[in-house]
Amino acid sequence: MKFIVAIDGPAAAGKGTIAKAVAKYFKFPHLDTGLLYRGVGKKALAYSRTSYYPEIAKQLALDLKPVDLEANDLRTPEVAKAASKIAVIPEVREVLLDFQRNFANQEGGAVLDGRDIGTVICPYAHVKLFITASAEIRAIRRYEELKNNGLEISFENVMRDVVSRDKRDQERNASPLIIADDAYEIDTSSLSANDAVGVAIDHINEKFKNL
Ligand code: DC
């Protein structure tokens, strides 16, 4: 059986939390596709100013290995910014496409979260969720998370990063962050993590019943 759950949305809306919980509940493997872009973004930071030239960025993506996704410094603001700059390059997206599609199409079902899963990677997904929250709420969550991880950073900087990353993700030409016509939107601004997960699971169960 194939059953694809596509989860998209802007940074810090709660996609990751929902994707992990849904994967655990339905016993599906989960791919956080942001990690692929973060992996390439980290290489770009270590490389040189020419990293964002399409041919060079493409090679960095081709060189990405599973072990690169296990690095424990992929969640820093610097890597997030580099990832969103790398993600505008169509050649990079092209390289990462097959891996994501193969993951989605495995037997037994799969959960993928990112920006373009329901629109470009798996337009035929069985369930599409679009997770949102206001920019301010998302910045507060990201700020708390970074602070808990011991990072010295001001709220103003985090807010600025969230807004500029949203802009870059939404306005790029290659697979921009947009809501698919058939996606189910969950605004987590005033929901607890548990409640948001509950709403997602109920919706997926409904789709399961109507297969
Ligand atoms: O979800 P995240 O914050 O880990 O993603 C990091 C960046 O990667 C984000 O700014 C945009 C990009 N990204 C993307 O373009 N497409 C995806 N499917 C996932 C992430």
Tell me the per-residue pLDDT of 130-176, one tens digit each, with 9 for 90 and over: 999 999 999 999 999 999 989 899 999 999 999 999 999 999 999 99
Cβ-in-10-Å burial (0-12, 13-18, 19+) of 44 comes to buried
Where residue 198 sits, what CATH number does that domain have? 3.40.50.300
Q: Indicate if the pLDDT at residue 48 is higher than 90.
A: no
Structure tokens given for 47 = 């490389």
169 lines ligand 1 (CB under 6 A): yes
How many angstroms is it from 209 CA to the middle of ligand 1? 31
Whether residue 70 lies inside any domain: the answer is yes
Identify the residue whose C-alpha is closest to ligand 1 atom 5. 34
Three-state DSSP class for 31? strand
114 lines ligand 1 (CB under 6 A): yes
**For 6-109, where are the alpha helices, taking DSSP H only?**
15-26, 34-47, 54-62, 77-86, 90-104
Whether residue 211 lies inside any domain: the answer is no
Whether residue 188 lies inside any domain: the answer is yes
Taking the CA of residue 40 as centre, how many other CA atoms within 13 Å lie in the half-sphere pointing to its CB? 28
Counting every residue written for the chain, the total comes to 211
Distance CA 104, CA 82 (A): 25
The predicted-structure confidence for 181-201, as pLDDT tens digits, reads as follows 999 999 999 999 999 999 999
Q: Indicate if the pLDDT at residue 51 is higher than 80.
A: no
Q: Indicate if the pLDDT at residue 49 is higher than 80.
A: no
Three-state DSSP class for 3? coil
Three-state DSSP class for 132? strand
The predicted-structure confidence for 9-22, as pLDDT tens digits, reads as follows 999 999 999 999 99
Distance CA 116, CA 111 (A): 13
Residues 6+ apart with CB under 8 A from 210: none
Q: How many domains does the chain have?
A: 1
Q: What is the DSSP letter of 183?
A: P
Whether residue 15 lies inside any domain: the answer is yes
- Probe target for ligand 1 pocket from 97, 112, 115, with the most ligand atoms within 8 Å of CB: 115
User: Residue 211: what pLDDT?
Assistant: 79
Whether residue 171 lies inside any domain: the answer is yes
| Segments forming the whole domain that contains residue 107 | 4-206
Structure tokens given for 21 = 């919980």
How many angstroms is it from 113 CA to the middle of ligand 1? 9
Residue 31 near residue 210, CB atoms below 8 Å: no
